[in-house]
């Protein structure tokens, strides 16, 4: 039977993820060549401003357009399909444990790497000052956005006063809470009205998946455009100046992605890492090109259910929550960046202070927006707490988009790996219950 949600088969005969990979290679290669041979020519700036940037932004807008209805419908249906409070609590508890444990691993890896490699001590003051001057305006803007609210207020903000307003602001955590409450109430009531409501929500979810199938057909072209814009503007100059910092972040992300995830998948998920990475490739490529867990969520859900074989109720619940709460790549990046800036400014941090930063990064990553650059205000807040100049963010702004792309891949990979592990644990528990009943 043909999957009604599947996108139409490509006329070229190439699979979607192969075409996305080709778009990635063509866009990045063309951008680097343009940067090397053309530099800062006016026509190149015009091409980026009027052609490639709008194509990429149109693709992102189409994906973001679907995020709110998809989050609401996926969570409501996930809760309804889980069926009872006990099962919901069990899957929710496993999801929370996964987020905390894997994020703690990520931050720990990052902090070990930054203490061993000491990237902040290898940057000359002249280069540092030039980078600070180049990014000073945006650094001040980011630093001014740091939240000055208490932990209690953050907890209270999870419950929206107006769910429509929360949806309009893109406050996904508040929307998720509202959807969870709706799903729980619909599960408890089980009336004709609630069954009709659930059928309507299922219709919304199905429509979202069909729209996603159409939008994702544009992905190869959008990936090429986004990568061209980034590489043509970035080039290698800034990368060379911040090579040790960039190398430290990418090394730590790679260890977490290619060592920790495969071990957890093999031991707890019962899945070959090779099969996982092959099945997850479309979502990982989308994550890299968009730098947004939220924008990648439609593809993440589709891939997790169809390519990785995770039960629908688990995939909907874990991936939807994970798009905002499971930010292990972001937490790792935040920890490295705070310690890097402390090293650059000569701020000596004790082991206890570094442990405090670790905890702050774990908690801060949960509240970081699942959009490009969403972690920068959190970093600014942590810098202020430890008397590190928050304007130092200007040092890393030149390479933040590249690193944002890399850490988003880890974030999305963590959502899918968690779904596989939790899905298997639920299947094992269900098999044991069936044996006891028999």
CB 82 within 8 A of CB 88: yes
State percent of the chain over pLDDT 70.
82
Query: What is the pLDDT at residue 154?
Result: 61
Looking at the predicted structure, is the pLDDT value of residue 248 above 50?
yes
Which stretch of 59-63, 198-202, 374-378 has the lowest confidence by average pLDDT? 374-378
pLDDT digits 0-9 by tens, 353-366: 888 888 888 777 66
Looking at the predicted structure, is the pLDDT value of residue 406 above 70?
yes
Q: Which of 56, 110, 363 is nearest to 224 (CA)?
A: 56
Which stretch of 169-173, 186-190, 354-358 has the lowest confidence by average pLDDT? 169-173
Looking at the predicted structure, is the pLDDT value of residue 216 above 70?
yes
Output b/e per residue, 187-222; b: 16+ Cβ within 10 A: beeeeeebeebbeebeebbeebbebbbebbeebbbb
pTM value is: 0.76
Average pLDDT over every residue of 98-109: 92
Q: Which of 104, 396, 28, 372 is nearest to 246 (CA)?
A: 396
Q: For the CA atoms of 346, 348, 354, 360, what is the dihedral angle to 10 degrees? A: -60
Looking at the predicted structure, is the pLDDT value of residue 135 above 70?
no
Per-residue confidence at 87, pLDDT binned at 50, 70, 90? confident
Query: What is the pLDDT at residue 7?
Result: 47
User: Average pLDDT over the chain, rounded to whole?
Assistant: 81
State percent of the chain over pLDDT 90.
21
Query: What is the pLDDT at residue 437?
Result: 66
Give 281 or 400, the one with higher predicted confidence.
281
What is the rounded CA–CA span in Å between residue 187 and residue 82? 9
Residue 428, judged by CB atoms within 10 A of its CB (0-12, 13-18, 19+), counts as exposed
Looking at the predicted structure, is the pLDDT value of residue 272 above 90?
yes
pLDDT digits 0-9 by tens, 253-263: 999 999 999 99
Which stretch of 57-61, 104-108, 409-413 has the lowest confidence by average pLDDT? 57-61
Looking at the predicted structure, is the pLDDT value of residue 11 above 60?
no
What is the rounded CA–CA span in Å between residue 167 and residue 254? 34
Query: What is the pLDDT at residue 130?
Result: 62
Looking at the predicted structure, is the pLDDT value of residue 352 above 80?
yes
Average pLDDT over every residue of 135-156: 56
What is the rounded CA–CA span in Å between residue 179 and residue 177? 5
Kindly list the structural domains of the chain, giving each domain's residue range(s) and its CATH number in brackets, ordered by start. 16-437 (1.10.3860.10)
Average pLDDT over every residue of 343-350: 85
∠ CA 60-221-25 to the nearest 5 degrees?
110
Helices (H) and strands (E) in the chain, counts: 21, 0
Q: Which of 15-29, 259-273, 357-371 has the highest mean pLDDT?
A: 259-273
Query: What is the pLDDT at residue 2?
Result: 43
Average pLDDT over every residue of 51-64: 84
Rounded alpha-carbon distances, angstroms, from residue 83 to 257, 319, 418:
33, 18, 21
Per-residue confidence at 134, pLDDT binned at 50, 70, 90? low
């Amino acid at each position: 039977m043909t999957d009604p949600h599947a996108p139409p088969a490509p006329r070229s005969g190439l699979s979607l993820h192969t075409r996305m990979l080709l778009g990635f290679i063509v866009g990045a290669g063309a951008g680097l060549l343009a940067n090397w041979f053309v530099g800062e020519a006016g026509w190149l700036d015009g091409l980026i401003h009027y052609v490639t940037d709008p194509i990429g932004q149109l693709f992102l807008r189409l994906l973001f357009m679907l995020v709110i209805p998809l989050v609401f419908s996926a969570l409501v249906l996930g809760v309804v399909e889980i069926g009872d409070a006990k099962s919901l609590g069990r899957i929710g508890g496993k999801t929370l444990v996964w987020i905390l444990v894997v994020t703690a691993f990520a931050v720990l890896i990052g902090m070990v790497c930054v203490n061993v490699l000491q990237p902040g001590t290898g940057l000359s003051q002249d280069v540092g000052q030039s980078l600070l001057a180049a990014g000073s305006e945006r650094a001040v803007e980011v630093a001014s956005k740091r939240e000055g609210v208490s932990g209690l207020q953050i907890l209270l903000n999870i419950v929206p006063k107006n769910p429509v307003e929360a949806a309009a602001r893109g406050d996904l955590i508040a929307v998720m809470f509202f959807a969870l409450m709706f799903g729980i109430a619909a599960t408890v009531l089980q009336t004709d009205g609630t069954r009709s409501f659930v059928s309507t929500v299922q219709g919304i979810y199905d429509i979202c998946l069909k729209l996603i199938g159409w939008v994702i057909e544009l992905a190869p072209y959008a990936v090429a455009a986004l990568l061209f814009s980034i590489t043509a503007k970035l080039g290698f100059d800034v990368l060379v100046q911040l090579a040790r910092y960039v190398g430290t972040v990418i090394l730590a992300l790679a260890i977490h992605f290619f060592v920790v995830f495969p071990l957890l998948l093999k031991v707890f998920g019962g899945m070959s890492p090779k099969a996982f990475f092959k099945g997850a490739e479309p979502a990982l490529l989308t994550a890299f090109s968009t730098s947004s867990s939220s924008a990648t969520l439609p593809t993440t859900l589709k891939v997790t259910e169809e390519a990785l074989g995770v039960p629908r109720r688990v995939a909907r619940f874990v991936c939807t929550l994970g798009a905002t709460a499971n930010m292990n790549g972001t937490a790792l990046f935040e920890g490295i960046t705070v310690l890097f800036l402390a090293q650059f400014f000569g701020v000596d941090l004790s082991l206890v202070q570094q442990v405090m930063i670790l905890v702050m990064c774990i908690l801060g990553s949960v509240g970081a927006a699942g959009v490009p650059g969403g972690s920068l205000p959190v970093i600014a807040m942590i810098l202020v707490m430890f008397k590190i100049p928050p304007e130092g963010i200007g040092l890393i702004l030149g390479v933040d988009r590249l690193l944002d792309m890399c850490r988003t891949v880890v974030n999305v990979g963590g959502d899918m790996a968690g779904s596989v592990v939790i899905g298997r644990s639920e299947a094992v528990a269900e098999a044991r219950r069936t044996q006891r009943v028999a």
